[in-house]
Structure 1
């Protein structure tokens, strides 16, 4: 991550911090893709359309040819419990502990928070705030390059084996349709970029920590990329990337992400918490739960408009995943 100028640390309103966090995440994500020389679209377009399963009609259908490689369409994926089993920041915390960045007491708190998250399938704001404060205190004075190396190692050691195959297959379906895919997470931008890169995604939006001359100051730019800040980041990235949000899809497990899901034309719910499942049922959003063998909750299926259909085809996605293994 490029070094950021030290901002004037006056007291900001919640709205200002939310916007600042979103703009910083979008700037970092857009700049990273430009620096990597990535093509705007990362998957091969299929002019004949992408097959999917139409649950209402019980048969197969195809995306219209115009949907393939739509330059104004993209898919946004939450990370924790949507794409990854558990929370990325807790895995990163354990990785830092193994490298003697902090104490036994700190790791015990990380383990408890992770266990709570896995048991309840939802984020606890208090736990997230504690994790944030601990992480910022740990990295203050450390080099950005060093954290990036650790993030790479933690992904290889832990996270790679905890990706939900079903959600991974949905990412691949978007890529195969020639659509951009973005990870959106409260985890640090450095970790988010590595997860996205290893999954072949276009890029990532994550929490941006302030750094001066390549060294962390122990402060955030704005606030963690959580709740409304995610929606602000997606909106800001859409402006930079020339995306039409009505053509885009978003995926999440948490009711905290309702602002992001409501922002796009095609919201999808993966492994939902109770509040999000209830909201999805009321709104007619598609739901899929990869945590058990039970079928997805039957909710109304919105018009695909080219992009939603690709995302909604869980059965086809799983078939594609098995084929690629």
Structure 2
């Protein structure tokens, strides 16, 4: 068995689900546009530049989950999937995922975006396993805080290795491993797999990939 890891935002989808979710909540008037839109854009630019403080961002991103009942959030999420996510699934995504599944590879989406937003996306793409940043819950509702290690930068490596250990697996369980990503923030995990692949990469990752003879592909 081999291992196929997929980043989500700007990799399997041609956009950022975290950013889009906040913009969607602004449009729903669940967030104040004047207070939140500029900050959302600022955090997204920091992410792309590799300067994001993940805990500061998660404080911004997860607090809105605590302000609304779970049932309302799930209704909004269903609408969000239809309006914002389905249209931006990259054209080559399903073919890539299906190829790995047909080969019998263990397929996992590993993303910094929280699991509330990303779980239905993974389901829509037919990928059973998801490692995402986990929002804290109490009595079925969100607290607005993060639970455990965010799945970001080195945190992706930590979270993956804990997931593998929980399933009685290690890196040595796989002859080959792939990680598909667009982002410089994923260099720690890209450097761990046997087959790192840059997908529609940002300039920093593209340059790194070219220097190291990593494949550079597009799914769009």
Counterpart selection for 2:215 from 286, 290, 299: 286
Structure-2 residue corresponding to 1:157: 83
Shift of 1:237: 1.7
Alignment counterpart, residue 205 of structure 1, candidates 131, 141, 148: 131
> Does the CA-based 8 Å contact 2:180-2:196 persist in structure 1?
yes
Q: CA deviation at 1:154?
A: 0.8
Match among 74, 78, 87 for residue 16 of structure 2: 87
Q: Choose from 104, 107, 114 the match for 1:178.
A: 104
Residue 281 of structure 1: how far off its partner (Å): 2.3
Pick aligned residue for 2:206 from 259, 273, 277: 277
Q: 2:187 aligns with which of 258, 263, 287?
A: 258
Match for residue 31 of structure 2 among 81, 99, 102: 102
Alpha carbons of 1:123 and 1:209: their partners in 2 closer, same or farther (altered >3 Å)?
farther
| Cα RMSD for the two superposed structures | 2.6
- TM-superposed CA distance for 1:94, in Å, is 2.1
1:305 aligned residue: none
Whether the 8 Å contact between 1:86 and 1:114 is mirrored in structure 2 is: no
Three-state SS of the structure 1 residue aligned to 2:127 is: coil
Q: What is the TM-score normalised by the length of structure 2? A: 0.85
| Residues 113 and 127 in structure 1, CA contact (< 8 A), matched pair in contact too | no
Runs of 4+ in structure 1 off by over 6 angstroms are: none
Paired with 1:256 and 1:107, the residues of 2 have a C-alpha distance of: 24
Alignment partner for residue 122 of structure 2, among 175, 196, 200?
Answer: 196
Distance 1:106 1:128 in 2: 19
Map 1:288-307 to 2 at 5 A: 288-290=217-219
Unaligned runs of 5+ in 2: none
Q: Give 1:143 shift.
A: 4.0
Pairwise mapping of residues 105-144 of structure 1 onto structure 2 (< 5 A)?
Answer: 105-109=34-38, 112-113=41-42, 122=48, 125-126=51-52, 131-144=57-70
Count of residues in correspondence between the two structures:
217
Structure whose alpha-carbon radius of gyration is higher? 1
CA shift in 2, pair 1:111/1:221, >3 Å: closer
Shift of residue 230 of structure 1? 1.0
Cα 1:128–1:182 shift into 2, 3 Å = same
- SS state at 2:48 partner: coil
Q: Which 5+ residue runs of structure 1 have no aligned equivalent?
A: 1-69, 292-325
Shift in Å, 1:85: 1.2
Q: Which has the higher strand share?
A: 2
Relative to 1, partners in 2 of residues 1:114 and 1:210: Cα closer, same or farther, differing over 3 Å?
A: closer
Compared with structure 1, are the counterparts of its residues 159 and 266 closer, same or farther at alpha carbon in structure 2 (3 Å cutoff)? same
CA contact 1:210–1:216 (8 Å) conserved in 2: yes
> Could you report, residue by residue, the CA deviation over 1:234-271 in whole angstroms, capped at 9, with x for unpaired residues?
21222223442552211101111011112222211101
**Distance in 2 between the 1:182 and 1:144 partners?**
26
Per-residue deviation, 1:232: 1.2
Per-residue deviation, residues 143-191 of structure 1 (Å, max 9, x unmatched): 4454344323211111111011123321111122222321111111122
Deviation at 1:223, TM superposition (A): 4.5
